[in-house]
Structure 1
Amino acid sequence: MKRHLRLIPFILPGVLLYAVLFLYPTITALYYSFTNWDGLSPSYQYVGIDNYKLLKDDIIFGKSLMNNLKFMLFVVIVQTVVSLLLALQINKKSKVNVMLRALYFVPTILSSVSVGFIWSFIYDPSTGALNQLLTMMGLESWTQNWIGNASLAIFSIAAVQAWAHIGQMVVLFVAGLQAIPPELIEAARLDGATKVGLFLRVTWPLLAPAAAIVVSYTTIQSFKAFDLVFTMTGGGPAYSTEIISTYIYNSAFMNYAFGKAATASVFFLILISIITFLQFKLLRTDRVSY
């Protein structure tokens, strides 16, 4: 017992930081979700679950939720598949592969605001590099107003999100691949396993824990892509790129409806928790071990 008490001073700073930076804001947001506070007035009224009812009937919130789910699905699928394929290609230790890992990781160190401005110029329908490249290749029919087209804009931003973070996921997959005992790979090859069979029966099952981290982290990233969306479109055109985080921002700082914004934040937290939990259950990481 005394030994455990001696450990308290070591964990206390972490517990305090967690309480101040996470628990307190979460409890405060939950409290304000039951009020009509505007963010400025010293007084406010308790309105019960009225904010939750208003959120349910809010068309813009419904659009932001659907946009966020589209954004999340696109980013998770593209980012996971592409980063896994790249990791498989550069898994072996060599100077070229080390250089490629560093090259893939470069976009990750850029700020999302910088990435947003860069890709806004690339997507420009008149002078953007993407449309000019397509024209040079004789694919003028493919040119688009990439972030001005309401049906295309959310996927254009999702592609930028995936591009910016693929390198980070490659590093995680490479770490997972290098943790696989080489004896298992060699034994499977001696038994006559094909490349596809080797991946499906040996590599992927042992890579599941790394994949679970990649998928859950990518999901959280896609729901927190406020700075990228805000920089590139601000939620437009016609709310076609409005996601939950931009909805919360607009509700709180543009419409001064902090109570409603807090309600959306609580819903946001619950949604991410449920999706992440289901992803871990689906990948069944508890049944996989190295």
Structure 2
Amino acid sequence: MTTTELIVTATAKKRRVGVRRAGRRTAPALYLFPVPALIIYVAFFIIPTLQTFQYSITNWDGYSAAFDYVGLKNFGRALTGDTLFTNALTNNMKFMGVVVVGQTAVALTMAVLLMKNTKTNVFLRALYFFPTILSSVSVGFIWKFVYDPNYGVINSILGSVGVQGPGFLGDATTAIYWLAVTQIWFHAGMMIVIFVAGLQAIPAELYEAAEVDGAGPWKRFTSITWPLIAPAMSIVVAYTTIQSFKAFDVVLSISGNPPSRALDILSTRIYSTFANSQFGYAAAESVLFIIFILVAVFVLRRFLRLIQRGES
């Protein structure tokens, strides 16, 4: 091939590459496609959130055109002068502690046992995942029947063998913990799926090498599984923490409206405040609600990292 032919061929190739690159350029009109979604997001999330902060420093009742700005008075009232709010916060902390620890432990244990993709394990994963597709109201009514002290399933079985069953939701000191059991049953299946995905991403060669070195099951778990499951663990802890604050529908369906003082958590307390036309005060409670969730997620994830690094 002559020099001229080589030059022509190279030029043709450059032109073809240029045409392909030009074809890959994003048309400016395509940038307009996210605009409708962005407008909806701003209109129904950003603006209402900012309005919540605005109303939190007012005494607006939700109906009147006029209202007064009261500064941080609503926040001080919620944190120091409202026993209903502090009771709901205490209940929520107990509820969150049991749910985060219990649900994470149950889900991780089951995921380790069901990690291999056998037919039996796949079936059991689907079975454990089933409760998560039920509606929250359905779950609440199911467990309300289970916990019923008179004709509930558990007490009926215990009564048939002459054992006095517990009071469940009727016992103010333990009711919130029984509610946590319901929450764990409801969401553990989804956490199992997340953990299984994280476990299957760990290279099998690491376990084989550890086994050759004589490491037992517990040593392999603490040295390989636990450190490498950190990304999945972070997702589970964050999700579980948020869900423990948002268990509004489960609480109302299992306890009724308004819920008993023993089962009142922050989300139901805020709802009751809105229902009493104290919109300004409820907005302040909502702001505190957001802050508590952010702090709880941050602290738990930080604590988890310290444990996994062996610094705690």
- Please report the TM-score for the alignment, with normalisation by the length of structure 2: 0.85
How much has 1:176 moved relative to structure 2? 0.4
In the alignment, what sits opposite 1:211?
A: 233
User: Which among 215, 224, 229 is matched to residue 202 of structure 1?
Assistant: 224
CA distance in 2, matches of 1:67, 1:264: 15
The 1:117–1:192 alpha-carbon spacing in structure 2 relative to 1, beyond 3 Å, is same
Aligned pairs, number? 282
Listed one character per residue, the Cα deviations across residues 153-174 of structure 1 (whole Å, up to 9, x for unaligned) are 1111111011011101000000
CA distance in 2, matches of 1:43, 1:160: 44
User: Which among 63, 75, 78 is matched to residue 55 of structure 1?
Assistant: 78
User: Which among 198, 211, 214 is matched to residue 189 of structure 1?
Assistant: 211
In the alignment, what sits opposite 2:10?
A: none
**Greater C-alpha radius of gyration:** 2
Moved more, 144-153 or 201-210: 144-153
Question: Equivalences for 1:225-264 in 2 at 5 Å?
Answer: 225-234=247-256, 236-237=259-260, 239-253=261-275, 255-264=276-285
How much has 1:187 moved relative to structure 2? 1.1
Aligned partners of 2:145 and 2:152 also within 8 Å:
yes
RMSD: 2.0
User: Which among 57, 75, 78 is matched to residue 34 of structure 1?
Assistant: 57
SS at match of 1:147: helix
How much has 1:5 moved relative to structure 2? 6.8
Which stretches in structure 1 are left out of the alignment for 5+ residues?
none
Question: Equivalences for 1:56-205 in 2 at 5 Å?
Answer: 56=79, 57-138=81-162, 140-141=163-164, 143-205=165-227
CA distance in 2, matches of 1:273, 1:16: 26
CA distance in 1, matches of 2:56, 2:38: 25
Moved more, 148-157 or 258-267: 148-157
Q: Structure 2 counterpart of 1:202, which letter?
A: I
Aligned partners of 2:111 and 2:193 also within 8 Å:
yes
SS at match of 2:97: helix
Runs of 4+ in 1 over 4 A off after TM superposition: 2-7
SS at match of 1:158: helix
Q: Structure 2 counterpart of 1:22, which letter?
A: F
CA distance in 2, matches of 1:13, 1:129: 51
Listed one character per residue, the Cα deviations across residues 30-53 of structure 1 (whole Å, up to 9, x for unaligned) are 000011111122221111111112
- Please report the TM-score for the alignment, with normalisation by the length of structure 1: 0.91
Q: Structure 2 counterpart of 1:222, which letter?
A: S
